[in-house]
Amino acid sequence: MNKTSGNIAIRILLALAFVIACGCAASRASQYTYDRRLLAEADDHFDKKRYPEALKIYQDLASSPAYSQTASAKQALYKIGYINIYYDNPKADPRAALDAFNSFRARYPDDKLIGEVNTLTKILVVLKGFEDQYDETSARIRRLQTKTAMASGSLDTLLESIQRCSTERDSLDMEKSALLKKISELEQTIVKMEKTR
């Protein structure tokens, strides 16, 4: 090999190395997009138990039209639901979690997390049903108590009203115990799911 062909070979190798280095640098640079940085920042807040700060960033990221088609926005939407049922979050809001999971299901029906999202959604729907039933029963008791207090007449009428209230109260206490047991079971299921993640 003569000196000229050796120089050409070295130049080609250097040019090839430069192209490869530029390609690697570009691929590394694309890993650190602004939406990914925001997601990492929100995750850091979550890990440090700063849930309101994490939730704010997740919400901004999930609702931003600029990032609506990114994996970061999808992950943020999932985490909005997750943070609102997280057992350690004192400001958890199951209704907000249900809204977020329903949005996730609508936007990303084929995502790998859809099974988990569907399970959590079902649990939240059951809990909401229990809550609605409890509220309805409590309102019924208040109406019965009001009727009893307003009832006038004989002692027999009053005693009968008191007996109905007592029976209704006992029935509600049983319903309340059953609901509390179901809630406890659901909380244990959520904690188990958390541990398997």
Q: What is the pLDDT of residue 172?
A: 87
| Residues in CB range of 45: below 8 A, 6 or more apart | 51, 53, 54, 57
84 and 137 co-located in one domain:
no
Q: Kindly report, residue by residue over 13-58, the tens digit of the pLDDT.
A: 555 555 565 554 444 445 678 999 999 999 999 999 999 999 999 9
Q: According to the model, what pLDDT value does residue 181 have?
A: 85
Q: Are residues 123 and 162 in the same domain?
A: yes
Backbone angles phi, psi at 44, to 5 degrees: -65, -45
Say what the pLDDT of residue 153 is.
61
Q: Is residue 46 domain-shared with residue 84, that is, in the same domain?
A: yes
Residues with pLDDT less than 50, the chain:
24-29
Which range of residues forms the domain containing residue 77?
Answer: 32-111
Q: Which residues contact 41 (CB under 8 A, 6 or more apart)?
A: 57
In this structure, the answer to whether residues 78 and 148 fall within a common structural domain is no
Q: Is the pTM of this model over 0.85?
A: no
Number of domains in the chain: 3
Last residue of a domain, one of 58, 83, 111: 111
Last residue of one domain, picked from the residues 52, 82, 111: 111
Residues 50 and 88 in one domain: yes
CA distances from 144 to 65, 126, 150, 156, 158 (A): 52, 27, 10, 16, 12
Looking at the fold, whether 122 and 190 belong to one and the same domain comes out as: yes
Residues 96, 76 within the same domain: yes
Q: Nearest to residue 124, comparing CAs of 151, 143, 144, 105?
A: 105
* Residue that is last in its domain, among 111, 128, 148: 111
The pLDDT of residue 127 is 85
DSSP secondary structure letter of residue 70: S
CATH number at residue 98: 1.25.40
pLDDT value at residue 29: 46
